[in-house]
């Protein structure tokens, strides 16, 4: 059995559901990526602006690199039906954090390669944390094609899978690139509620619900809040509507199984989380990334979009939260829900609120009442 075949088999044994090999040569998409960054589509993700030279050429990450091993691991879990007072969390984030698990499996695969090919073998492995244009590499390695929603899509497995890479100085047998099968379909582009795709195959992250709910550390632009619906961490819409995801299979990895507490969670409960309760709920889970203030900001927006008057009492209580970011979005939510109780609470809060940004939110929320009167 060839070394390539041995690595492929070992990767499967470790739970990787896709594996491909591509030469460690410069990437044609580096110029496109640099233009994407220059257009401002990365928003506040300034780390994406760094190390453009390394992103272009894997050999600048590993001297003497010959092959990039691209790996995929399925994560899909069925999404429950949601109700107005319940939030949606992206499929990948309802179980355990994938970074540690995949990194551990990569380390085992790398040890196998050292044992099989020789200890003098040089290389590095990555999962979502290095300057690697992983989707182009994975496309070249045959794992799937770059879809119009910018996800990597495989004909058999859809797009619900994580990516990881090993850059090695080994000369391995490489796979053929995956062809594009999007055709004339535009379902993902049409379904995006915040119009995050300026054109096919291009994502403006600053309008993407995943970016707004995870990476953005400040206030969510008011004109995008209603489009977020009840998504409180991430978004799966452009994947859910994709025909290639019509019949996805649940991921076999037990760690990715959805936690009952994160399947269709109650927004009324979430908005009341203190620091300890937040940390307990999201222990070893990706949704800790925006921290409590960012997450409850998202929950406030979802409550504002719920149309549910029963949310008003808990929102009024949250007007006194210690975080200005949360208070501001709670004010917006009360303005969206309306009613005398909400209006009176906003008027009262405006007399004591000291933070300028929160005062603006209070005034904007009260302006909605004036327009409707």
Known catalytic residues are 128
141 token code pair: 């390695």
Q: What angle do CA 17, 146, 10 make, to 5 degrees?
A: 20
Q: Which single residue is written with the structure tokens 């600048």?
A: 60
- CB distance 321 to 302 below 8 Å: no
Q: What is the number of other CB atoms lying within 10 angstroms of the CB of residue 214? A: 22
List b or e across 87-115, with b for residues whose CB sees 16 or more CB atoms inside 10 angstroms.
Answer: bbbbbbbbbbbbeebbbebbeebbebbee
- Torsion-angle region of residue 216: left (phi > 0), alpha (psi -120 to 50) or beta? beta
70's tokens:
């691209």
Give CA–CA dist 309/329, Å, rounded.
Answer: 17
Q: Compute and round to an integer the Cα radius of gyration of the chain.
A: 23
**HEC per residue, 136-177:** HHHHHCCCCEECCCCCEEECCCECCEEEEEEEECCCCCCCCC
């Amino acid at each position: 059995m060839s070394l390539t075949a041995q690595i492929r088999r070992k990767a499967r044994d470790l739970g990787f559901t896709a594996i491909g090999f591509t030469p460690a040569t410069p990437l044609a998409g580096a110029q496109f990526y640099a233009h994407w960054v220059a257009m401002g589509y990365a928003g506040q993700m300034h780390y994406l602006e760094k190390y453009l030279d390394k992103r272009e050429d894997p050999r600048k990450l590993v001297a003497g690199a010959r092959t990039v091993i691209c790996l995929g691991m399925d994560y899909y879990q069925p999404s429950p039906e949601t109700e107005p007072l319940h939030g949606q969390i992206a499929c990948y984030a309802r179980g355990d954090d994938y970074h540690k698990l995949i990194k551990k499996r990569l380390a085992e695969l790398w040890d196998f390669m050292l044992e099989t090919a020789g200890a003098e073998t040089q290389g590095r492995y990555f999962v979502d944390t290095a300057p690697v244009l992983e989707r182009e590499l994975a496309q070249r390695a045959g794992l799937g094609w770059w879809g119009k929603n910018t996800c990597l899509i495989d004909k058999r497995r859809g797009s619900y899978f994580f990516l990881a890479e090993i850059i090695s100085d080994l000369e391995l047998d490489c796979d053929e690139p995956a062809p594009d099968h999007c055709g004339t379909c535009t379902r993902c582009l049409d379904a995006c509620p915040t119009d995050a795709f300026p054109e096919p195959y291009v994502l403006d992250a600053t309008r993407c619900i995943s970016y707004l709910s995870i990476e953005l550390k400040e206030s969510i632009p008011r004109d995008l809040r209603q489009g977020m619906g009840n998504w409180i961490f991430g978004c799966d819409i452009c994947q859910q509507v994709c025909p290639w995801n019509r019949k996805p299979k649940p991921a076999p990895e037990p760690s990715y199984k959805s936690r009952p507490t994160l399947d269709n969670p109650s927004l009324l409960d979430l908005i009341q989380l203190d620091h300890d309760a937040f940390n307990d709920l999201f222990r070893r889970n990706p949704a800790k990334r925006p921290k409590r203030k960012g997450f409850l900001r998202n929950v406030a927006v979802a409550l504002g979009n719920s149309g549910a008057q029963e949310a008003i009492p808990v929102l009024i209580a949250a007007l006194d939260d210690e975080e200005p970011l949360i208070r501001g979005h709670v004010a917006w939510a009360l303005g969206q829900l309306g009613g005398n109780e909400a209006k009176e609470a906003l008027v009262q809060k405006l007399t004591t609120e000291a933070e300028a940004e929160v005062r603006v939110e209070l005034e904007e929320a009260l302006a909605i009442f004036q327009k409707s009167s």
